[in-house]
Amino acid sequence: MELTVWQTFVTVCRLGSLSAAATELHHTQSAVSRQIAGLERDLGVPLVERHARGVRPTPAGEVFRHHALATLHEADRAVHAAREVRDGRSDRPLAVGATPSLAAGIVPTAIRALLERTENLRWSLLPDLSSPLHHRVVMGDLDVAVITDAPPGLPQDPRVERRFLGLDAMVVALPLGHPQAGGEPVHMRTLADQSWVEDNDGSAALLRQHAARAGVSARIDLTAADLLGKLALVATGHAVALIPGVLRCALRADVTTVDLVDPPTRGIYTITARRAPHPCAAPLLDQLATAFAPASPGRAAHRKPGTHAEAAATTPQEGRTPTPPEVPGHRTPRQRAV
């Protein structure tokens, strides 16, 4: 089967129209129809069906589309790799992804340590949420992603290798001058009358779960488009927010934090594709483990058995390392410095 035919099929599915696909691909509509019909004959199964507004993939077509996209993407990578060798540039960049809070501090620190050991390494860093990052690793867009198991959790995917780095305790971001700023850890019920702002469903779920355990509810009155917008609303006194503890080292100057008693936690993981790993992926994973390790015992200290984080830490899964032991009451040097 020719990959150009696969590209035609993928384009038809994306646009939902034979004529629109023909226009984009600079073919005639009859040529596109012949290619799809030939592909269906080769596979022995209908791939598209007509409806009032065009065409859509059949169930078999949708499955084929998913694998065709991955194959086309890998073929494109192969072409670029061959041309880089031809042009004397065989050192492909290390593509790293991370959730916004991890991209703000720990991940760039680990990359800096890697650069000190690796000359002429080209790299890129893409901040995004865990689910899109997981998809981009599978598709080959990213070599390494640093993600979390915050709700809805992480999928069990044999196409990636997962490595557990540690647990991160969530904290509450407050505007400067807030009555709880700089104080001892507070119970959630102390903040029950506050307005909260959230920027994604995972963090909102952690907040609601923690409030429910405390027997109160959290009023999520405001929604932000992203983490920067969330912190801007906190800084200007519109709300307080649940944020990752790892973000403390990169907070803006007009925002402070307070710890929670028995805080919600989330597991931090790296994922890499099992096929064709970048030669610098493994050294970066080691640097990330080193960067995260000092804070892990303190973050695990307030975990309650039966919580989401406890399940994440104790369920045996591929690629995970043992969860650090609990140290009740212990606070790490990183936490003490905040």
Q: What is the pLDDT along the chain (338 residues), one digit of tens a residue?
A: 578 999 999 999 999 999 999 999 999 999 999 999 999 999 999 999 988 889 999 999 999 999 999 888 878 877 876 776 566 555 678 999 999 999 998 999 999 999 988 877 889 999 999 999 999 999 888 999 999 999 989 988 999 999 999 999 999 999 999 999 888 999 999 998 999 999 989 899 999 999 999 999 999 999 999 999 999 999 999 999 999 999 998 899 999 999 999 999 999 999 998 887 888 999 999 999 988 775 443 443 333 333 333 333 333 333 333 333 333 333 333 332 22
Q: For residue 36, which of 26, 44, 27, 47 has the smallest C-alpha distance?
A: 47
Backbone angles phi, psi at 128, to 5 degrees: -165, 175
Helix (H, G, I), strand (E, B) or coil at 320: coil
pLDDT of residue 75: 84
Take residue 190 and report the two structure tokens written for it: 């102390």
pLDDT of residue 275: 81
pLDDT of residue 326: 36
DSSP string, 238-292: S-BEEEEGGGGGG--TTEEEEPBSS--EEEEEEEEESSS--TTHHHHHHHHHHHH
For strands 54-57 and 160-175, give the pairing: unpaired
Q: Which residue has the tokens 């936490």?
A: 335
pLDDT of residue 1: 57
Determine if the pTM surpasses 0.75. Answer: no
DSSP string, 73-128: HHHHHHHHHHHHHHTT-----EEEEE-HHHHTTHHHHHHHHHHHHSTT--EEEEE-
> Rounded distance, CA 334 to CA 152, Å?
29
